[in-house]
Structure 1
Amino acid sequence: MTIILGREKPVIDPFDLVASRGVSAPCRRFMLTFMDYTYRVGRRLLENVEKVSVYAPVRGAVKGRFRGVEVCVVKLYFGAAASAMALELLIAAGAREFVVVGEAGALHPSLRIGDILIPTWGVREEGTSYHYAPPSYTPRPDPKLVELLEEELERIRRRGIRIVKGGVWTTDAVFRETRDKVERFSGMGVLGVEMEATALMTVAHYRGAMLTVVLSISDELYGDEWREGFRSRKLRRTERICVEAALSALASRRCVE
């Protein structure tokens, strides 16, 4: 069955829902993440940290200050549908700038475990984004946030960590990342695969919010055998760098100029 892109006002509108509850976002700027480790790192890097309640399905949320700027760090549920729902409600409550810190599997030998991918476009194999944009739409991040994020990553990265920009493949089916699809998408210039990026970029664009994504490479799908590094020290080091860069980009004065 083909997904029908609705044209009329939704029955449940997130802005109406948030207004009816009388809630507002505790911050304007948000670092969104999915992993326990990156959430803990983000929390530790903030000053004056306090737990906050957000009107959205999340696994944790704190507010603090980074370089004097108020920022929230939120741990989302995995997957396009759940994370897009949370993003919708945060935007409706007044949040405007987002950096998403995640993990991805590498599709091309140019990326190894512990490297960094900044998605600049995406292949949509999740279902959520098709309710916001037609099949011809190519999701992209906010260019200003990409620039700020890249500058911060270059400033704080360690030797041996590559930073690459390129395509990302977002899928709902982790166990259907088949060899033929890996080779096909890699040949198209897609560098990594994960579960949320294209949906979040599409929703942010639809709502007029600023959002970009940074992905630590956690595993490699392009070799003869799958190679994973989910518990490796190199991945943890890279994730610390990505979190610091995300918070630095959000705290930049240029973020909202």
Structure 2
Amino acid sequence: MLDKKEFPILEYDSSPKAKIEPLNTVSKIDGPECCVITFFGDVIENMLKANRLKQIAVFSSCTVKLPVYETEYHGKKIALTQGFLGAAGSAAQLEELIAMGFSKFIVCGAAGVLQKGIQVGHLVIPGSAVRDEGVSYHYIEPSREIECNPYVVSIMENYMKRNKIPYINAKTWTTEAFYRETDAKIDLRVSEGCVTVEMEAAAFFAVSKFRNVLLGQILFCGDDLSGIEWDSRSWCSREGIRKNLVDIALEICLELHAAAIQKR
């Protein structure tokens, strides 16, 4: 029996077994080990129109179906799928992708900016995330923050430096309540070093650690929450930046796979 805590979210159970296990509900597929999860649906649509994608699986929920595609990049096969908004959906999607047989992941999406001076489109590698969501507490014991896998971060940073792509390694704030990003909350997160705010990183880091797979994330700086008023900065119209980021994620994911093979 678990000890009852003041708040249910603190009642962490370290048991590796649950009543519903992804391996018992999802079939393994014959596909590559590498998978890019992107929140840029328009990039996937354009790749479909260009006949660059072949569907090999699907993540199904009661509200949405997200196809899993296979593409060829630099002569190597890699999977690509659209991410599920929010920590809960992202965790379930990642669980099923792992059960399908994927073991190396790069996630790319957008994030709000909390600190002044960071231009729209600038790239952030979140080295850690403040856990202001609920999912991660069911995978990793309670703590204020969770780290991204340092090995994966090093692979991403080496790629950025080698290709002279500007980026920063920074802390992100993961929250599922984007309509409750108050001034006081933003000030508190900034005071503890958060540069961005998004809705999935802490969950991705927790599930990947629990399932012992390699995962990293790249964030594209979009809207600005650092001023008196929220500024969308028209980030949704930056199509070229989003396409380039997906290409970067595909390349890094393949490099991660190659590095993991050499490390064995």
TM-score class normalised by the smaller sequence: 0.7 to 0.9
* Of 188, 199, 202, the match for 2:203: 199
Distance of aligned partners of 1:195 and 1:55 in 2 relative to their CA distance in 1, 3 Å threshold: closer
Distance of aligned partners of 1:208 and 1:44 in 2 relative to their CA distance in 1, 3 Å threshold: farther
Query: Do structure 1's residue 181 and structure 2's residue 188 form an aligned pair?
Result: no
Query: Do structure 1's residue 34 and structure 2's residue 39 form an aligned pair?
Result: yes
Higher mean C-alpha deviation, range 93-102 or range 52-61: 52-61
Query: Do structure 1's residue 209 and structure 2's residue 229 form an aligned pair?
Result: no
CA distances 1:193-251 after superposition (whole Å, capped 9, x unpaired): 00101101110011100000101011110112111134465x43332232111111112
How many residues are aligned here?
Answer: 249
Higher mean C-alpha deviation, range 79-88 or range 4-13: 4-13
Percent identity between matched residues is 28
Contact 1:219 1:230 in 2 (8 A): yes
Structure 1 stretches of 5 or more lacking a match?
none
Partner of 1:14: 22
TM superposition score normalised by structure 2: 0.85
1:90 Cα deviation from its structure 2 partner:
1.2
How much is the aligned-residue C-alpha RMSD, in angstroms? 2.4
TM alignment of 1:87-106, pairs within 5 A:
87-106=94-113
Contact 1:23 1:55 in 2 (8 A): no
Partner of 2:259: 254
Partner of 1:239: 242
Higher mean C-alpha deviation, range 32-41 or range 212-221: 32-41
Higher mean C-alpha deviation, range 29-38 or range 149-158: 149-158
Structure 2 stretches of 5 or more lacking a match?
1-6
Contact 1:145 1:249 in 2 (8 A): no
TM superposition score normalised by structure 1: 0.87
Which secondary structure does the structure 1 equivalent of 2:146 belong to?
A: coil
TM alignment of 1:1-257, pairs within 5 A:
1-3=7-9, 4-8=11-15, 9-18=17-26, 22-24=27-29, 26-40=31-45, 49-54=53-58, 57=61, 58-136=65-143, 138-154=145-161, 162-231=166-235, 235-252=238-255, 253-257=258-262
1:107 Cα deviation from its structure 2 partner:
0.6
Distance of aligned partners of 1:219 and 1:65 in 2 relative to their CA distance in 1, 3 Å threshold: same
